[in-house]
């Protein structure tokens, strides 16, 4: 008689534990508990170089600044021009992305823009460099205490208020991607 009672008690305990786990999964707090383990910043500037590029177009549609133009008469293969017209090959000076310069650091360092040396060529000649688009990135690294690390980009105001060791809940999808913007809504 004692053996069936023990089995029933074990079965009831397993059902209660399973229901508790499922209940926590469904009704418990959303997201994964994480801790902020690192704060960092990175400042990047795209450096552009003036380059000579080749192109071709109808001679009456050449871009401004085209040079070394060669002309030839052709019929339009698309049929948009009824008569044969002059088609040109040309060169053009254009600013194109050449490389990226960056500075980076942590919370103890003051974020500063890089100041790279730039090449200078005579005006109108290829080879000169200039500073292009600037971007600042403020990032935090979050850990669940196990094998998972997430890096989230935040704005400067939030980055300045966050400290290593702070704990949060962050939604993570089934592919393991963290929903960083929703982290602020669910601070522990």
**63-96, pLDDT tens digit by residue?**
999 999 999 999 988 888 888 999 999 999 999 9
Cβ atoms within 10 Å, residue 71: 11
Cβ atoms within 10 Å, residue 46: 15
Find, among 116, 110, 109, the residue nearest to 131 by Cα. 116
CA distance 59 to 179: 52
Whole-structure pTM value: 0.68
Q: What is the largest CA-CA distance in the chain?
A: 106
Q: What percent of the chain has pLDDT over 70?
A: 89
Tokens of 56: 């071709």
């Amino acid at each position: 008689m004692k053996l069936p009672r023990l089995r029933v008690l074990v079965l009831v305990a397993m059902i209660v534990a399973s229901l508790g786990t499922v209940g926590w999964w469904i009704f418990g707090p959303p997201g994964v508990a994480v801790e902020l383990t690192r704060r960092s910043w990175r400042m990047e500037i795209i450096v552009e170089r003036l380059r000579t590029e080749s192109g071709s177009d109808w001679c009456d549609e050449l871009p401004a600044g085209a040079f070394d133009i060669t002309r030839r008469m052709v019929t339009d293969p698309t049929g948009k021009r009824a008569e044969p017209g002059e088609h040109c090959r040309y060169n053009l000076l254009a600013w194109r992305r050449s490389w990226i310069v960056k500075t980076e650091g942590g919370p103890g360092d003051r974020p500063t823009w890089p100041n790279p040396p730039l090449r200078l060529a005579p005006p109108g000649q290829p080879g000169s460099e200039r500073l292009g688009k600037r971007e600042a990135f403020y990032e935090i690294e979050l850990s669940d205490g196990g094998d998972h690390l997430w890096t989230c980009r935040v704005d400067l105001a939030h980055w300045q208020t966050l400290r290593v060791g702070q704990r949060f809940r962050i939604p993570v999808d089934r592919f393991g991607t963290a929903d960083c913007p929703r982290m602020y809504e669910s601070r522990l």
